[in-house]
Amino acid sequence: MEEKISIWQGDITQVEVDAIVNAANKSLLGGGGVDGAIHQAAGPELKEACKKLGGAETGEAKLTEGFNLPAKYVIHTVGPVYRDGKHEEDKLLESCYRSSLGIAKKHHLKSIAFPAISTGIYHYPAEEAAQIAIHTILDFLEKQTSEITVILVAFDQRTENLYRKILKNID
Ligand code: ADP
- pLDDT one digit per residue (tens) for the chain, 171 residues: 446 899 999 999 999 999 999 999 999 999 999 999 999 999 999 999 999 999 999 999 999 999 999 999 999 999 999 999 999 999 999 999 999 999 999 999 999 999 999 999 999 999 999 999 999 999 999 998 888 999 999 999 999 999 999 999 997
Instruction: Tell me, using a 6 A CB cutoff, whether residue 120 lines ligand 1.
Output: yes
Q: Which of 35, 84, 139, 156 is catalytic?
A: 35
Report how far residue 148's alpha carbon sits from residue 31's, in angstroms, rounded to the nearest whole number: 29
Q: Assess: ipTM above 0.90.
A: yes
Instruction: Specify the ligand 1 atom closest to the Cα of 79.
Output: 3
**Gap between the Cα atoms of 6 and 89, Å rounded:** 25
- DSSP string covering 106-128: HTT--EEEE--TTSSTT---HHH
Virtual torsion, Cα 73, 166, 82, 25, nearest 10 deg: -10
Spacing of C-alpha 47 from chain mean position = 18
pTM (whole model) above 0.95: yes
Regarding the beta carbon of 14 and ligand 1, being less than 6 Å apart is answered no
